[in-house]
Structures are given as structure tokens and as C-alpha cells.
Amino acid sequence: MRDVIRKSSNSWIVQPNLLNYDATCARFSWEEIRLELDGLPSGKGLNIAHEAVDRHVKGPKCDHLAIRWLGKDGKVLDFTYRNLKKHSNRFANVLGQLGINKGDRVFALAGRIPDLYITALGTLKNTSIFCPLFSAFGPEPLYQRLGRGDAKVVMTTEQLYKKKIAGLRDRLPQLQHVLLADVDEDMGDGVRSLPKLMSGASSEFTIPSTDPEDMAILHFTSGTTGMPKGAVHVHNAVLTHYITGKYVLDFHPEDIFWCTADPGWVTGSSYGIIAPLVHGITNIVDEADFDAERWYSILEKQKVSIWYTAPTAIRMLMRMNIKPTEKYDLSQLRLIHSVGEPLNPEAVIWGQRVLGLPIHDNWWQTETGGIMIANYPSVDIRPGSMGLPLPGIEAAIVHRLDENTVCVVKEPGVEGDLALKPGWPSMFREYLHDEKRYLKCFVGGWYITGDLAKCDADGYFWFVGRADDIIKTSGHMVGPFEVESALMEHPAVSEAGVIGKPDPVIGELVKAFVSLKQGVEPSDRLRLELLGFARKKLGSAVAPKEIQFIGNLPKTRSGKIMRRLLKARELGLPEGDLSTLETSE
């Protein structure tokens, strides 16, 4: 086990909200957390947009900066909570004028532009369903999602409409309205100018009665094969967004928060929109794509105190010969968090060494709707561990006995299926139009996540791999993440992706695809050095037998290494759904 990063009160810039993990878990109640939120006036239920915006306008947060938008061209737009209320009210009224009602799907296909955030909040106010999409999706992935999601409205830009949506209209009879954020006049055939509609809409709007179990957000997540799955989340999910903002991200009233995720990915909506606004803090939104110097400059100039990013971005920063604390003033930064796939131990240590702060990994899925397992500001970090379950969440390692039964593993260190006890507020309520697929996720009273993990004697969870990524070699079960993490400890390695390659003698041999750091050239000598390095770290049974150098590993836009794509290309198999591939156009 890697060295533990100890936490003590001497290291706190601000006293964490969660001071005693065990005591908080023991007394935790979702019912009590609900009392920390307002609910709609006159007892009309619970609405995410009310908790994120309107409730703040009634108090001292009214003119507090809610969103600072940084345009890629240098333009800056500020929105206070008062501004957000007016703009989101107007959008809700636009939907009403167009005949869009409760439960109707409103899709957003755009980059990180202000209209995207106003669309999300206004849609939720109208009790319609917000459905974000990556702007990099091509026409066919868009058709799959718009069709399966029963899209009635799409908010987008003129360029994206002409390039990707216009040719699909005949195949999407339910799509009634396209709202263009960057044109001043309507274009006909249901293609409307959003600025024109907004200018004629009232800034007054009363959120209708909203049952906590009313559908609120639809997120599509790609499987390794087949059609994308539409995970349905309800307004009650805001309880998870709120409590994870409080306990994991550790929001305090004057924090400035930056989540780098695109809202097309669930992190970008749960934590790039909802959680910071529910806490009434300032949320930084950067329109531009990854650029190391720009990112460090944003951290400095915007005085970001809490930064939430992805492993792929951290690994890219690790590759660069930049000494950020020498060039930039990052003294306001007190917490760094990562999500997307488990963070290799080396990256956690790099944060401590280079940025002066360890990186807090956390684990969750599109289906869970919010963070489920995390490393907390007040709790010791074990680099490479997912951390400890969120208060109110029961997690376990289970073994399946048959299609309907599991047994809970009590012995520390034993690998098995990572499972959660159903019932948390942000748990997905269905896969849209696919009940059979949904029901298969629940076995013996547990939600089976599809991830394999183990739990140590102190309750820390450790990721092993996706169930369909596990490599069976010479009777051993090898998790790719373990091998990748070991390779990343070598000073020449930036990233690694590991697969199992069929072998007639041992079943599968472990093959690693390695991306090298800047300035390091691939060679046969380096390949042999890495093979020996891994064998020394892992033992001959687990270490890779083959290493192939690769410029960049294929990743999803959320930063997950696409191991199944590496395997498909290695074996000449069909590549499957590539709609979320990082370079998709």
C-alpha cells in the first residue's frame, strides 16, 4: 500500500463541513437533509431550479455572483442569482408559449455557452426534462439520443443545427422546435431565434407544483455495445447534489468553484451546474477546451478555491514541463477533486508535490446521479483508493450466487462486484424505454454497478476494473487499473491502457499500451526497461507480457480510457459505439 496522506487540523485553510466521518455516518438521515433545503413555497414539493436559484434571491445571496462565464475569445459575462432567476424564468415562459409541458424533453446541444445553463434551469422550472448532449456528437449518435429521448425541443447554435440536426428532421417527427442561441430572426420550419423569444418573454414565473419523484434530467450513457442508455433522474436528486457539495466538495459561502466538465457528461450538470448553485456560491464556467496555461491562469485570476477536474486532464498536466506554483499564484486553491475514472496513486502524489495539495478522488456513475464514494477534506487519503462511502450510502463488495442472489463479502481485500443498497435520492429511476435492462442492474436487494472493487479493513474501497475489462491470465484475475498504475510510476510514462489479449496457453496475456511523457522517445530498450519495471512491481503473473507505445490513448470525453476500443483494434473486432470518443466529430 502506498503511504497514507495524513489530514490534520493544522493543514486546514477552512474547517471542513464534515469533521468526524464515523459520527456523521452514524447519525445521518436523508429526511434531516431535506430540512436543510427550502422546498417550493406553500408546500408544493421540491424543484431543483428553485433550490439552485430562486431561494437565494429571497435572501442575502440575491446579488451574489452565481456564474462567471469565460468566453474563449476573452469575453467575460457575470450572472448574479437575481440575473439567473430572471433569465431562467424567461426561458420557462418561452417553453410555455411553445406548448412544452411537464415531462416534455428539452435537449441542449451546445458548448459551454451561457444559454446552456439558462436552458437547464428554465427547463427544470417548467417541470420539463433537461437532456444535455455533447456538441461533438455526430448526426447518428444525436439521432439515437433525440429519438430514444422523445425530443420535443433542441436548444443549439446555427452552425451545429445546420451541420448536425437539419438533416435529421425528417427522422424525428416529435421534434417540434429548434431554438438557436445565436440568431436574431426565426428561420422557419420550427427553427426559432432564442434571443427574440427571450426578449418577448416575461421575467416573472411561478414554478408549478413539483413532486420530488417527478422526472427532471435524462442523461445518456454509452455501453460497450448496443444503443445508448437513457438514465432517468428525478428532482429529489438535489438532496445528493446538496450533501455531496457540503461534505465532499466542502463548499463554504465565499468559495469560488470551477468544474471543468462539459454538461454533456453527468458531472457537468450535477456539479457544473446544480451543486454549486444550490450552495449559493460562485461557479466558474470556461467555454474553451483544455489548455494548461489557460487553466493555471484561470485558477490564479479567478481565485478558484475548489477545483473539480478529471484524471485525463491531470495526466495531461503531469506530462508538461510546467512548475505552476512558481509561475502562478495558486494560494487561494484549497481543494482539488477528480472524477471520471479512478485516479492513479502517482497522480495523487503529483498533486501534493507539484500543486501543494493532494488530489481527492471520488467515484460515482451516470446511474448514481451524484458522488457515492469519496476522499474527504478531513479524512486521511490512501493514494489509489476511491475513498469511503458518502454518509447515507451503504456500499459493499458482493459475489453473485445466481441471477437473483448475492452474498456480501466480509473479508477485507477480496475482490467482487461493487454494489450499493438502493434508495439514495439521486439513484436513477429507469433506463428510458428499457425496463428489462434496468431490472438487470438490481440483484438480491443491491444495485450492481458493473465495477469490480475490493474493500480494506478500514472501509476504504479500491477500484479493480470494469467487470468486462478483467483479464484472466494463467488462472489469475488481473485488473487493468492495477497494471496501469504501476506503469505510471515509471518516470517516462504519462498514461497506460491495459487489455487482455487471447493466448492459447494462458487464456489471456496482459498487454499494455503506453503513452510517454514529453521529450521521451520510444525504443526497444525502453520497452524492455518497462517490462522489467512492471515485473518487479507486480510480479510475473500480473505484469504485462507485451508493451506497445502509442501517441494518445483513446478516451471518452469524460476522460475514461476506452480499453474495449484498444482491444477491438488490437484484435480487428467491431469497434462498437464511438459516440463518446474524445475525438468524435
User: Which residue in 353, 364, 376, 385 sits closest to 485, CA to CA?
Assistant: 385
- Per-residue pLDDT, averaged over 267-276, amounts to 97
Is the pLDDT reported for residue 584 higher than 50?
A: no
Least confident window among 60-64, 200-204, 533-537, 558-562: 558-562
Q: Tell me if 138 is assigned to some domain.
A: yes
Is the pLDDT reported for residue 575 higher than 90?
A: no
- In this prediction the pTM is 0.86
* CA 374 – CA 54 distance, rounded (Å): 30
Instruction: Tell me what pLDDT residue 578 has.
Output: 65
Q: Tell me if 476 is assigned to some domain.
A: yes
The more confident residue out of 3 and 115 is 115
Considering the domain architecture, whether residues 382 and 496 belong to the same structural domain is answered as no
Contact of 185 with 193, CB cutoff 8 Å: yes
pLDDT tens digits, one per residue of 463-516 = 987 777 778 776 666 778 778 888 988 999 999 999 988 887 777 899 999 999
The more confident residue out of 88 and 585 is 88
Q: Tell me if 242 is assigned to some domain.
A: yes
Considering the domain architecture, whether residues 425 and 493 belong to the same structural domain is answered as no
Considering the domain architecture, whether residues 154 and 244 belong to the same structural domain is answered as yes
Neighbours of 408 (CB within 10 A): 12
Instruction: Tell me what pLDDT residue 40 has.
Output: 97
Considering the domain architecture, whether residues 409 and 522 belong to the same structural domain is answered as no
Considering the domain architecture, whether residues 347 and 488 belong to the same structural domain is answered as no
Q: Tell me if 326 is assigned to some domain.
A: yes
DSSP state at residue 209: P
E strand intervals along 75-188: 76-80, 105-109, 129-133, 151-156, 177-180
One-letter amino acid identity for 189?
A: D
Q: Tell me if 465 is assigned to some domain.
A: no
Considering the domain architecture, whether residues 41 and 180 belong to the same structural domain is answered as yes
Considering the domain architecture, whether residues 477 and 449 belong to the same structural domain is answered as no
Contact of 297 with 291, CB cutoff 8 Å: no
E strand intervals along 458-562: 461-466, 471-473, 476-478, 493-503, 507-516, 546-549
* CA 258 – CA 307 distance, rounded (Å): 5
Helix (H, G, I), strand (E, B) or coil at 578: coil
pLDDT tens digits, one per residue of 138-175 = 787 888 899 999 999 999 999 999 999 999 999 999 99
Least confident window among 14-18, 192-196, 248-252, 399-403: 399-403
Say what percent of the chain tops pLDDT 90.
75
Is the pLDDT reported for residue 560 higher than 80?
A: no
The more confident residue out of 485 and 460 is 460
* CA 257 – CA 271 distance, rounded (Å): 10
Considering the domain architecture, whether residues 480 and 360 belong to the same structural domain is answered as no
Give the domain-ending residue among 455, 483, 511.
455
φ, ψ for residue 254, nearest 5 deg: -100, 15
Mean predicted lDDT score pLDDT of the chain: 92
Considering the domain architecture, whether residues 493 and 366 belong to the same structural domain is answered as no
- What lies within 8 Å, CB to CB, of 559 at 6+ separation is 310, 311, 312, 313, 340, 341
Rounded to an integer, what is the distance from CA 224 to the centroid of its chain?
18
CATH of the domain at 522: 3.30.300.30
CATH of the domain at 168: 3.40.50.12780
Instruction: Tell me what pLDDT residue 564 has.
Output: 80
Q: How many domains does the chain have?
A: 2
Q: Could you give the strand order of the β-sheet that contains 335-338, starting from the edge strand earlier in sequence?
A: 76-80, 65-70, 282-286, 256-259, 306-309, 335-338, 359-363, 373-374, 388-389
Is the pLDDT reported for residue 186 higher than 80?
A: yes
* CA 291 – CA 296 distance, rounded (Å): 9
Instruction: Tell me what pLDDT residue 364 has.
Output: 96
* CA 452 – CA 465 distance, rounded (Å): 5
Buried b (16+ CB within 10 A) or exposed e, 161-184: beebbeebeeebeebebbbbbbbe
pLDDT tens digits, one per residue of 94-117 = 999 999 999 999 999 999 999 999
What band does 122 get if pLDDT is binned at 50, 70 and 90? very high
Domain that holds residue 492: 470-571
Neighbours of 436 (CB within 10 A): 7
pLDDT tens digits, one per residue of 306-342 = 999 988 789 889 988 889 999 999 999 999 999 987 8
- Per-residue pLDDT, averaged over 448-457, amounts to 94
Q: Tell me if 584 is assigned to some domain.
A: no
Helix (H, G, I), strand (E, B) or coil at 459: coil
Considering the domain architecture, whether residues 486 and 380 belong to the same structural domain is answered as no
Helix (H, G, I), strand (E, B) or coil at 353: helix
Q: Tell me if 1 is assigned to some domain.
A: no
Is the pLDDT reported for residue 224 higher than 50?
A: no
Considering the domain architecture, whether residues 522 and 432 belong to the same structural domain is answered as no
Q: Tell me if 3 is assigned to some domain.
A: no
One-letter amino acid identity for 294?
A: R
- What lies within 8 Å, CB to CB, of 226 at 6+ separation is 577
Residue with cell 438480491: 444
* CA 272 – CA 257 distance, rounded (Å): 9
Instruction: Tell me what pLDDT residue 1 has.
Output: 42
Considering the domain architecture, whether residues 346 and 265 belong to the same structural domain is answered as yes
- Per-residue pLDDT, averaged over 275-283, amounts to 98
What band does 126 get if pLDDT is binned at 50, 70 and 90? very high
CA distances from 294 to 71, 271, 307, 440 (A): 12, 21, 14, 44
Contact of 361 with 375, CB cutoff 8 Å: yes
φ, ψ for residue 244, nearest 5 deg: -75, -35
Give the domain-ending residue among 410, 429, 455.
455
Give the domain-ending residue among 455, 483, 498.
455
Write out the DSSP string of 546-558.
EEEE-SS--BBTT
Say what percent of the chain tops pLDDT 70.
95
Instruction: Tell me what pLDDT residue 95 has.
Output: 98
**Between the CA atoms of 201, 207, 213 and 216, what dihedral angle is there, to the nearest 10 degrees?**
20
- Enter the C-alpha cell of residue 215: 422526472
User: Which residue in 218, 225, 308 sits closest to 268, CA to CA?
Assistant: 308
Contact of 263 with 132, CB cutoff 8 Å: yes
Instruction: Tell me what pLDDT residue 226 has.
Output: 55
Instruction: Tell me what pLDDT residue 426 has.
Output: 98
Instruction: Tell me what pLDDT residue 4 has.
Output: 92
- Per-residue pLDDT, averaged over 543-557, amounts to 88
